[in-house]
A = this chain, B = another copy of it.
Amino acid sequence: MTSKQPLDYSQDPKHDSCQLIVRKDAPFNAEPCPVDLVKNYITPEKYFFCRNHGPLPDIREAEHTILVQGIGCDKPTYFNMKQIKQDYEKASVMMVMQCAGNRRDGLHKVKHTKGVIWGPGALGNAIYSGCRLRDILATVGVTTKIKNLTKLHVAFESVEQCEEDKCYGSSIPLSKALDEFGDVLLAYEMNHSTLTRDHGFPIRVVVPGYIGGRSVKYLKSITIQDYESMSYYQRRDYKILPESVSDEKQADAYWCKVPSIGEYNVQSYVCSPSDGIHDGAKSNQTVQGYALSGGGRCIQRVDVSGDDGKTWTTAQLHQPAAEGNNCRVWGWCLWSATIATKRNVRIVSRAVDSSGNVQQEYPVWNYRGVMNNSWRTVDSNSMEMSNI
């Protein structure tokens, strides 16, 4: 982090009537209550988490352009919003946007982590619409015929000025961008409405199956290069450091050795009852939650336990996109089950994805607190058990 002028948040939109739990005011970071998350299969904006690294840009669409350049491009080319909307087929994708730090609180209870202390609400399921990134790349001459495809990356830069770097930036493998089943879009709509400033107006990248950090908002440039983005957010953040690394100084030696996260892992959470525990024994407790997995893997089963994992009930799944053996499922799965609960005993869920990956029982701690997908934890002072 270099010394620089403090950033100015005075022009941020007001969030006075916000129905989210604010985790940080400036930059604005907020998430919904778990019970609100499972009310809708498509998450409405009022319940959609907001993740920012600096003041929210206030961009005039008519003046906004995106520069596309780099390896394999015929020449550096600017695209304006009118071209993008009129000259390219509009495509839509339903997908989960999930922050890599979702559920960081579970790891932070184990030991101090670095980052916004998110609960389980740093995700939402939305329909994004825009042009396909690979259609834009084809215009400048970049297709799967490019040499050394598997060694190339697409780096995105944002208008957003940030606390940790001059602007937000990130990258994805070029093969993901060009994959005809990859569904990477430059989106200008969310849930059939124009993007709001909170979500990247006028245009953002959406990368289905990947952590939200790769879906760069307020997009200003796209560069094909033979290395990952040099941005702080690609190089020194969003990586799963080994458990032995527990402070900034130790981390210094590891950032370059550990891969950046792309796809996220298998995940589920008990959202209702929201505290994951019941204060009385109940024979017919309805339990609801979400489940998801990265890379287009759908959820094949969610097991729910009212006795801290001793016995399990198979949940009913609601995951319409998985019908018809769709090969890439980017949307989430909402589930419910009716189980017996015991007084002050943890209610947990355990998802199995289409590749047979399953959630680990205990948190595997990492300094940045990312990719926590253990069974849900509860506040230990409300528990009678000692094993969490």
**Residues in chain A within 8 A of chain B (CB atoms):** 144, 150-151, 153, 173, 175-176, 179-181, 228, 240, 242-244, 258-259, 261-266, 294-295, 297, 300-301, 303, 312, 314, 324-328, 350, 352, 354-362, 364, 370-371, 373
Contacts and interface: CB of A to CB of B under 8 A. Distances in A.
A242, A294, A357 — which one has the most chain B CB atoms within 10 A of its CB? A357
A301 B242 contact: yes
Nearest to A309: B362
Nearest to A227: B325
Given A263-B297, A356-B371, 5 more contacts: A175-B327, A176-B327, A179-B179, A244-B312, A294-B356
A112 to B, nearest CB: 19
Contacts of A360: 358-361
Nearest to A254: B314
21 contacts: A150-B327, A151-B326, A153-B325, A179-B179, A179-B181, A242-B314, A243-B312, A244-B312, A258-B301, A259-B354, A263-B355, A265-B358, A294-B355, A295-B355, A356-B370, A356-B371, A356-B373, A358-B360, A358-B364, A359-B360, A360-B360
Contacts of A151: 324-326
A360 B359 CA distance: 7
Contacts of A259: 300, 354
A243, A258, A301 — which one has the most chain B CB atoms within 10 A of its CB? A301
A199 B262 CA distance: 35
Shortest beta-carbon contacts, A-B, top 7? A356-B371, A265-B356, A263-B355, A175-B327, A357-B357, A265-B357, A173-B327
Contacts of A261: 355-356
Nearest to A370: B356
A150 B258 contact: no
Contacts of A300: 240, 258-259
Nearest to A244: B314
Contacts of A350: 364
What's the number of copies of this chain in the assembled complex?
Answer: 2
B240 A325 contact: no
B263 A325 contact: no
Contacts of A262: 354-355
Given A228-B325, A360-B361, A263 B354 contact: yes
Nearest to A179: B181
Given A153-B325, A228-B325, A300-B258, A266 B357 contact: yes
Contacts of A258: 300-301
A242 B358 CA distance: 13
Contacts of A358: 265, 360, 364, 373
Given A180-B144, A263-B354, A325-B153, A240 B301 contact: yes
Nearest to A322: B259
B263 A150 contact: no
Nearest to A259: B300
A271 to B, nearest CB: 21
Nearest to A359: B360
Contacts of A180: 144
B303 A242 contact: yes
A301 B373 CA distance: 16
A337 to B, nearest CB: 12
Nearest to A294: B355
Contacts of A173: 325, 327
Nearest to A361: B361
Contacts of A359: 360
Nearest to A350: B364
A30 to B, nearest CB: 24
A94 to B, nearest CB: 14
Contacts of A356: 240, 261, 263-265, 294, 370-371, 373
